Structure 1
Amino acid sequence: MFVLVNLKAYPCDAERVARAAATVADDTGARIAVAPQAAHLESVAATGVETWAQHVSGAGHGSHTGSTLAAAVADAGATGTLLNHSEKRLRLADVDAGLRAAEDTGLETVVCANNPRQIAAAATLGPDMVAVEPPELIGSGTPVSRADPDVVREAVAAADEVNPPVPVLCGAGISTGADVEAAADLGTEGVLLASGVAKADDPESVLRDLVSEV
Structure 2
Amino acid sequence: MFILVNLKTYPCDPVAVAEAVADVDETTDARLAVAPQAADIARVADTGVETWAQHVDPIDHGSNTGHTLAETVADAGAVGTLVNHSECRQKLADVDGAVRAAERAGLETVVCANNPSQVGAAAALGPDAVAVEPPELIGTGTPVSKADPEVVEGAVAAAGSVDDAVSVLCGAGISTGEDVAAAAELGAEGVLLASGVAKADDPAAALSDLVASQ
Q: TM-score normalised to the size of structure 2?
A: 0.99
* Matches for 1:80-119 after TM superposition, within 5 Å: 80-119=80-119
Q: Deviations over 1:49-81 (max 9, x none)?
A: 000000001111110001100000000000000
Correspondence for 2:6: 6
Q: How many residues are aligned here?
A: 214
Once the 2 structures are TM-superposed, how far is the Cα of residue 209 of structure 1 from its aligned partner? 0.5
Correspondence for 2:60: 60
Correspondence for 1:123: 123
Runs of 4+ deviating beyond 2 Å: none
Once the 2 structures are TM-superposed, how far is the Cα of residue 186 of structure 1 from its aligned partner? 0.1
Correspondence for 2:149: 149
Once the 2 structures are TM-superposed, how far is the Cα of residue 29 of structure 1 from its aligned partner? 3.0
Distance 1:16 1:77 in 2: 17
Query: Is 1:188 the counterpart of 2:188 in the alignment?
Result: yes
Unaligned runs of 5+ residues in structure 1 are none
Identity between Structure 1 and Structure 2 (%): 71
Once the 2 structures are TM-superposed, how far is the Cα of residue 86 of structure 1 from its aligned partner? 0.3
* Matches for 1:163-202 after TM superposition, within 5 Å: 163-202=163-202
SS in 2 for 1:28: coil
Q: For residue 182 of structure 1, what is the amino acid of its counterpart?
A: A
Asked whether the 8 Å contact 1:24–1:30 carries over to 2, the reply is: no
Correspondence for 1:45: 45
Q: For residue 175 of structure 2, what is the amino acid of its counterpart?
A: S
Query: Is 1:19 the counterpart of 2:16 in the alignment?
Result: no
Distance 2:136 2:29 in 1: 32
Q: Deviations over 1:12-54 (max 9, x none)?
A: 0000000000111112232100000000000000000000000
Asked whether the 8 Å contact 1:45–1:51 carries over to 2, the reply is: yes
Once the 2 structures are TM-superposed, how far is the Cα of residue 135 of structure 1 from its aligned partner? 0.2
Distance 1:27 1:66 in 2: 39
Q: For residue 207 of structure 1, what is the amino acid of its counterpart?
A: L
- RMSD value, Cα: 0.5
Q: TM-score normalised to the size of structure 1?
A: 0.99
Distance 2:179 2:136 in 1: 17
